[in-house]
Structure 1
Amino acid sequence: MKRMMYNIFMLRNPFKELDARNRKRSSDLLKSNMDFNKVVNKRAKILILSVFACFVVIAARLIQIQYFSQDEYTVKLAAFTQKNQVSSPPRGDMIDRNGNVLVTSEEIVNITYYPQKDLSSYSESKWQLAYKFAEQFDIQSDSITEREWKDFYIMVADDQGASLLTDEQKTLSDSEQYSIKISKITQDMIEELRNVEQSEEDANKGYLTNEQKYIAWPVMYKMEQATLISSAVIVENASEENTAYLIEHKEEFVGFDISTDSQRVYPYGSVLRDVFGRVSTTGLEEGSKDYYLANDYALNDRFGTSGLEKQYEDYLSGTKTVKQITYDEDTGSPIFTTIQEGKKGYNIQLTIDIDLQQKFDAILQEHLTEARSNVYRKDFKQAFLVMMNPQNGEILAMSGQQIQNDGSFIPFASGNYLQSFLPGSSVKPAVLYMGLNEGVVEPGEVINDTTMYFAGGLVKGSYNNKGLINDIEAIRQSSNVYMFHIAIRLGGGYYTPYGALNLPDVENAYELYRKYFSMFGLGTETQLDVPYEESGYPGSDDTSGHLLDYSIGQYESYTPIQLLQYVSTVGTGVKVKPHFMKQIYEINDEETIVEQFGTQVIDTLNGNEEYLERVKEGMRQCISSGACGAGFASLNKDIAAKTGTAEVGTVSDDTSNSIMIGFAPSENPTVAFACVAPTSSTGNLESNVCMSIVYDALVEYYKTYK
């Protein structure tokens, strides 16, 4: 009995046979006395202790989580189970330098959709809901784009457009297949699909026909843009009748709700609209979606997509409203609880004088309209005029107008920094300053302005021979020949009548031109506070002949805002950033300044001040002598200016740009201006239309700024 009990409580050695085999092979083992049961019990105890230790560790961890880290994990649980919906507040206003509101927001009412928690994408019940909504609220097919109608074909077609692909194309990625399908779908195919008859089986199940889905699609497409944390606007700026009906029948349209929103309003109509920019109306756009999502934007958020709206998005957008979303256990409908109140964006005061801006727009429109009856201005379709304070870079007015064939106008103020033009003789002040600084001409040096003849039949000259002139007269009379001599000398050559144009240092000369021009602001971005500006169009054939063209503004093109920064630098000796933003402040609190632009200096001319004064004197004499327009004398103001005429047509079509730049007064100027009238004269017309435009603009300017 005792032996039986012993056998019961002792474990059988599972390694008995293995150990026996080992004993047969080992003489040492044969000499040892082995207690197999003792070995087995020792191993079992180690196993039991290991298991026990594991349970102790697990228990300790559970105690830590339950008692010591409860708050931390409660927060984490909430983060995984709770959803927040973010909505944008009204954007801040833009006002002019005198307090006039240029851009503001007004409240509108939208019908939005918040998806039910358990309603799957493109389910039949969702189609039914979309169809019912579209019928009741009369949603039209043109409320979505042609591109979005192609998505309808893919979603409704039985094979989702697979028949549009070749066998080889079916091996491509999903995105590549999708692009191919979109490119092949036509409006006729969509019409054919909507007329496909429904099967008897689907009819018995109560499914929508393709025609009904066609009616529902403008709603369905927008419903599919909504997520559990982001709503979708189905009807923007809904009528009172529609909002009232939805409120009364809300139980029939589960997930649809009324929400307030805002839209941009422009008290001055189209004035400067392209500079102000655009705000998205359909949420995040595809090209910039990743960027804005990474910066905590929701898919349905509005944001600035261009112009100043984009440049100052962070200030204008304000603080978003955050609502916590839970769902009704019975209906699955969303329930919202506000956890963060939104705040309207900051207001931005611009440097613009809107009264002066409107007058400039009217001046350009008047001159463009008059040109319609002038055969010599048949190609004059655009005009640009911009004015700023050269001391601090504040843009006072920026006008751009484009006339249509019917006589109507398209405002194009942004063309002042988005389009570039050949500047003609307006670059000569910079060329003379460079020549004096580099020592290739001396102050007061006299050069004979007469036609220059080179080997190979190359002929260069001024509009007419001006005889013996010095550096100041070269600016006043706009001498091409004086500038040609500067170019030849910078290139290491000298002029011999009928000799070859040989410039051994031509590469160095081009480098000097671009260095000096960029010092003034030509050929480089002005750093205007907009999302994008054109830097001009550089020449690509740096030959000796083109160096002469470079000297008279016939080689590289510049924007009107570059010409303005350039002439401002001539006037003050300092290159500053032009800008629209004056200051940013709290809403309803102009005393709380958030940010000011101020004067931002980019560079200072470090050449001889006497040389700059000679350049300015030439520009002042251009006005006082009447060479830049006789009418300016009537203003009785100390104005310095330079005109330019750039040939842009062919030999048979002698078309040219008109340019005028300047500043006033000639010492310590407080205003600078630039006018560009592309292709404004043709044939034998000699008058520079910018002289008339600038005169009219200065008349209006001096009415306010004495």
Structure 2
Amino acid sequence: MIDPVPGDRRPAVSPQLALRISAVGLVAFLLFSVLFFRLWYLQVLDGDSYRVQANSNRSRVETLPAARGSIVDRNGEPLVQNTAAVVARLRPDSLPASEKEAAADYGDKVIERAKLSKRRQGPEISIPAVPPDFAPRVQRLARTLGMRVATIQERIIRGLFLAGYAPVTIKANLPEDVAGFILERPKQFPGVETPQVLLRAYPQRSLAAQIFGTTNQISPEQLKERYYRERKVRPGTVIGRSGVEAAFDDYLRGTDGRQTLRVDAQGNPRGNGRVIEPTPGRGVQLTLDLDLQKAADAAYRRVAGNLDGAFVALDPRNGAILATGSFPTYDPTLLARPISDRRYKAIFEPKDGSAGPLLDRVSQSLYPAASTFKIVTALAGFDEGLITPSSTYADTGCIVFGGDKRRACNSGGGKGNGEINVATALKVSSDTFFYDLGLRLFEKRGEPLQKWARRLGFGRITGNDLGGETKGNVPDAAWRRRVGQIEIDCRKKNKIPLSAPSDVAGTRNCGLYDVGPFTLGEAVNLAVGQGALQTNPLQLAVAYAALANGGRIVRPHLGSKVIDDTGAVLQPIPAEKSRKIKIPAAFRSAIMDGLHRSASEPGGTSADVFSNSTPPWNQKRFPIFGKTGTAENVAQVIDQSWYVAYSYDRSPERKPIVVVVTAEKGRFGADTAAPIARLILSAWFGVKAAVVRGASETK
């Protein structure tokens, strides 16, 4: 037997201590038993009820869109406003992963295609088919909404691609009974909401449709832009994408609100939490005059019928746009609501090759100016000392020029006009007078004709407050070198000899330009606004406004004032400053004399339009300074009709207006454009309207 280790002396456990330890252990056992039983009860016996409560204890923050401000005309008449509508929309978080993956794959393909040149892009990326696990839901929704499955799928895919975080609107203007049917069956329509929203409405329908632009939810790419980050624009915010909506978005947009919703596991609302009310946007008053706009629109349709074209009227003192129209036009309501790709293409992408109604031909077109450009040639001739207001030219009807003895004649048979000065040349629109002037300007250094064209705004943007305008082209030596090099590069790439004719080169997308220096023939064409000169009605309006106001190149603008919902003015919208060019009084007087005689004296190219009516136009009270133009456009078999007019009521400070009208395939300027302009002027001055067409004119 081994003795215990010395010093290890433990006291024996007494019966009383053992009893106490047993009691404590029993109590601990009972407590743990109760806790275990309670946990078992909660998880097993009553687990389902608590699971339901837990699933219901969720919240979702929703955006409360701010109402966009209204857009009104100069007199407060509504042009764009809001209307309440019930919509059917689908929450992205309710979609299966297969649908989200399909949308992501579609988006990747669209982005990759956009990176390619137009020649290499090929057909548009098709919308993927509805995944099998999502098909029953889409089919059920299609039957309920009376829509095609393909249309719903298209809107979901495009919506996820453009703004994957935002609900996708499937249908607008939902009938109340359909909305109620969906609302009462959340399990059959998971993720489908039927809120009441504000949509843009256009009480004037197609009037000035191209200027208003569109709105849409901000895209993920735009959210990263500094402009929107500085303004703390949140995902889901509706912003202006183009036109007036984009140009004045800071005023119109307002600030979205937010509300916290308590929802169940399926996202169905179970009560409201905190609400931050949205702040509505402010209104914008434009310079447009609705009465003039209606009259101008009706005048164009009355005279030009279905011809493509445009008109613009502005105040030559400050560039305020009083009326503007582009044809064909459209009802902008179509783009304020979901539209199928098939319908969009049918309306906005005509198969006949025309530009379609989305193009604003006032500022985004490219046309030769024809004889309306002759005022530029006259100013250049004055400035170079080649002509004076009293100097004359013997107009025999034709002119021969160049080493190859090319012959150019007055249009209309080459009839001569005898000894004429610059005012008479403008009155009768003598081509040979300006051909000869163009030849002499070509011999001067510094390209004076091109210099004056650019001074007056040709070949450069006008700086209008909507943007998106075309720059146009004033052909010169630098332009000729540039396009010549494009042709050389194209032919080298396609192994086509430079000596090959254009029709041969054209089979491989070359042959678009000549190779060589700026020629005498091109100078002659430019002098009468033909050839490679490209402009638009807004540029012409600015040029003639400068002539009318004595040399100020105004900035055309539509924005006038910021207003509240009562129409009270909050602040003016500042217009860009005009620049000044020097037009000597004697030069201006001679040109204005020619333009007035053109519209008022027998033999003037537009005189019949203003005199052949009962009563005739009151030239003493409303003097007309007008210029016709008939453009030979290579893209058209029939000539294009132009007319530019400036007038006022007794004094240049009383209701001054510049009107520019063009009608593609409208033939002579006095046939179509001038009668439209007369009707517009009649509406502006409140005189009796009459449609009178000119007997004939030259280019």
Scaled to the shorter chain, the TM-score interval is 0.5 to 0.7
Name 1:582's counterpart in structure 2: 560
User: 2:191·2:267 contact (CA, 8 Å) conserved in 1?
Assistant: no
Name 1:447's counterpart in structure 2: 393
User: 1:514·1:523 contact (CA, 8 Å) conserved in 2?
Assistant: no
Name 2:8's counterpart in structure 1: none
Verify: 1:474 aligned to 2:474, yes or no: no
Take 1:317 and 1:635, find their aligned partners in 2: how far apart are those partners? 46
Question: Structure 1 residues 434, 327: CA separation in 2 closer, same or farther (over 3 Å shift)?
Answer: same
Matched to 1:426, the amino acid is T
SS in 2 for 1:417: coil
Verify: 1:346 aligned to 2:346, yes or no: no
Name 1:313's counterpart in structure 2: 249
SS in 2 for 1:365: helix
Q: 2:658 aligns with which of 656, 659, 672?
A: 672
Q: 1:284 aligns with which of 202, 218, 223?
A: 218
Verify: 1:486 aligned to 2:437, yes or no: yes
Matched to 1:122, the amino acid is P
Q: TM-score, normalised by structure 1?
A: 0.66
Q: 1:629 aligns with which of 596, 607, 612?
A: 607
Question: Structure 1 residues 179, 327: CA separation in 2 closer, same or farther (over 3 Å shift)?
Answer: farther
Shift of 1:233: 4.4
**Residues 590-609 of structure 1: matches in 2 within 5 Å?**
590-597=567-574, 600-609=576-585
Matched to 1:638, the amino acid is P
Shift of 1:485: 3.0
Q: 1:122 aligns with which of 96, 112, 116?
A: 96
User: 1:425·1:645 contact (CA, 8 Å) conserved in 2?
Assistant: yes
Shift of 1:461: 3.2
Coordinate RMSD, CA, aligned = 4.3
Shift of 1:229: 7.8
1:13-44: CA deviations, max 9, x gaps? Answer: xxxxxxxxxxxxxxxxxxxxxxxxxxxxxxxx
Verify: 1:647 aligned to 2:624, yes or no: no
1:114-157: CA deviations, max 9, x gaps? Answer: 677xx8x736xxx9xxxxxxxxxxxxxxxxxxxx89927979xx
Percent identical: 20
Larger-Rg structure:
1
SS in 2 for 1:264: strand
User: 1:649·1:655 contact (CA, 8 Å) conserved in 2?
Assistant: no
Shift of 1:209: 8.3
Take 2:399 and 2:139, find their aligned partners in 1: how far apart are those partners? 75
Question: Structure 1 residues 635, 186: CA separation in 2 closer, same or farther (over 3 Å shift)?
Answer: closer
Unmatched 5+ stretches in structure 2? 1-57, 117-121, 142-148, 330-349, 481-517, 690-699
Shift of 1:585: 1.3
Shift of 1:620: 1.1
User: 1:384·1:413 contact (CA, 8 Å) conserved in 2?
Assistant: no
SS in 1 for 2:236: coil
Name 2:77's counterpart in structure 1: 100
User: 2:137·2:189 contact (CA, 8 Å) conserved in 1?
Assistant: no
Name 1:497's counterpart in structure 2: none
Unmatched 5+ stretches in structure 1? 1-80, 128-147, 156-171, 195-207, 370-379, 493-504
Take 1:114 and 1:285, find their aligned partners in 2: how far apart are those partners? 16
Matched to 2:307, the amino acid is K
Question: Structure 1 residues 82, 435: CA separation in 2 closer, same or farther (over 3 Å shift)?
Answer: farther
Take 1:488 and 1:107, find their aligned partners in 2: how far apart are those partners? 64
Take 1:334 and 1:225, find their aligned partners in 2: how far apart are those partners? 30
SS in 1 for 2:79: strand
User: 2:251·2:282 contact (CA, 8 Å) conserved in 1?
Assistant: yes
Take 2:245 and 2:315, find their aligned partners in 1: how far apart are those partners? 23
Question: Structure 1 residues 152, 331: CA separation in 2 closer, same or farther (over 3 Å shift)?
Answer: closer
Name 1:523's counterpart in structure 2: 459
Question: Structure 1 residues 323, 594: CA separation in 2 closer, same or farther (over 3 Å shift)?
Answer: farther
Name 1:239's counterpart in structure 2: 175
Q: 2:549 aligns with which of 564, 572, 576?
A: 572
Take 1:601 and 1:527, find their aligned partners in 2: how far apart are those partners? 10
**Residues 90-489 of structure 1: matches in 2 within 5 Å?**
90-111=67-88, 122=96, 151=102, 190=129, 218=152, 221=156, 231-233=167-169, 236-245=172-181, 247-248=183-184, 257-280=193-216, 283-285=217-219, 288=222, 290-291=224-225, 294=229, 296-324=232-260, 337-338=273-274, 340-369=276-305, 381-402=307-328, 414-450=360-396, 451-454=398-401, 455-463=403-411, 464-489=415-440
Matched to 2:405, the amino acid is G
User: 1:324·1:338 contact (CA, 8 Å) conserved in 2?
Assistant: yes
Shift of 1:254: 6.9
User: 2:258·2:278 contact (CA, 8 Å) conserved in 1?
Assistant: yes
User: 1:325·1:335 contact (CA, 8 Å) conserved in 2?
Assistant: yes
Q: TM-score, normalised by structure 2?
A: 0.66
Shift of 1:697: 2.1
Take 1:285 and 1:663, find their aligned partners in 2: how far apart are those partners? 44
User: 2:103·2:160 contact (CA, 8 Å) conserved in 1?
Assistant: no
User: 1:85·1:230 contact (CA, 8 Å) conserved in 2?
Assistant: no
Greater CA deviation, 610-619 or 457-466?
457-466
Matched to 1:578, the amino acid is P
Shift of 1:458: 0.6
User: 1:102·1:268 contact (CA, 8 Å) conserved in 2?
Assistant: yes
Matched to 1:641, the amino acid is G
Question: Structure 1 residues 396, 686: CA separation in 2 closer, same or farther (over 3 Å shift)?
Answer: closer
